[in-house]
Amino acid sequence: MIPPLFFVLFSVWGHVDNKVLTLGLGSAVFCVGWFLRIWAQIHLHYRLRVKKILTTTGPYRFTRNPIYIGNAIILLGLCLVSGIFWFLPIMFVYSVLIYSFVIRYEEAHLENKYGAPYEAYLAAVPRWIPRLSQQQRQHAPDVLQYLWPSVKAEMYNLLYLLPFLAKQLFF
């Protein structure tokens, strides 16, 4: 995702110069993506030293890829903060294309690792567009114990925001 991020960071062509809109809306969209990643991390434990299991709780009961959806939302938020609004559809399509390749690879790996339970999960939960109905709430034991470790594991995402904030505030 680095090439399009560098483009919107250094581009000034078609720049929107409304700081309330760019900083307010962009930061809000960025935070939605970041919070989605934290919620997913609480259930997935990807960067945590915990035995990995097939995760079907939390946001994973609505969509198979909440972290990638969170990433795409973060990227759209960074476009907004940069003031390059016209690049939003390009960033969206770029994210979908890149993550589609990654997801296909990961799904093949997970199918080999978890077998039939994962195949049932694939059939029940959509890849991209969350299905908000028909999903039974499953109890995820002790998810709150993973809240702070998950926030810490996702703090690095805030570093992406810093150069874009600097662009808006100082240039």
**Is pLDDT of 141 > 70?**
no
Lowest-confidence range among 65-69, 98-102, 137-141? 137-141
pLDDT reported for residue 168: 86
Number of domains in the chain: 1
| Residue 1 in domain | no
Q: What is the rounded CA–CA span in Å between residue 135 and residue 29?
A: 26
| Residue 3 in domain | no
Average pLDDT over residues 105-115: 96
Q: Tens of pLDDT along 150-160?
A: 999 999 999 99
pLDDT reported for residue 138: 65
Structure tokens given for 107: 């799904």
Task: Please return the burial class of 51, using the count of CB atoms within 10 Å of its CB with bins 0-12, 13-18 and 19+.
Answer: exposed
**Is pLDDT of 50 > 80?**
no
CATH code, domain with 96: 1.20.120
| Residue 24 in domain | yes
Q: Tens of pLDDT along 15-28?
A: 998 999 999 999 99
| Residue 12 in domain | no
| Residue 6 in domain | no
Task: Find the domain containing 39 and state its range.
Answer: 17-170
| Residue 63 in domain | yes
| Residue 127 in domain | yes
**Is pLDDT of 137 > 70?**
no
Q: What is the rounded CA–CA span in Å between residue 100 and residue 48?
A: 25
| Residue 101 in domain | yes
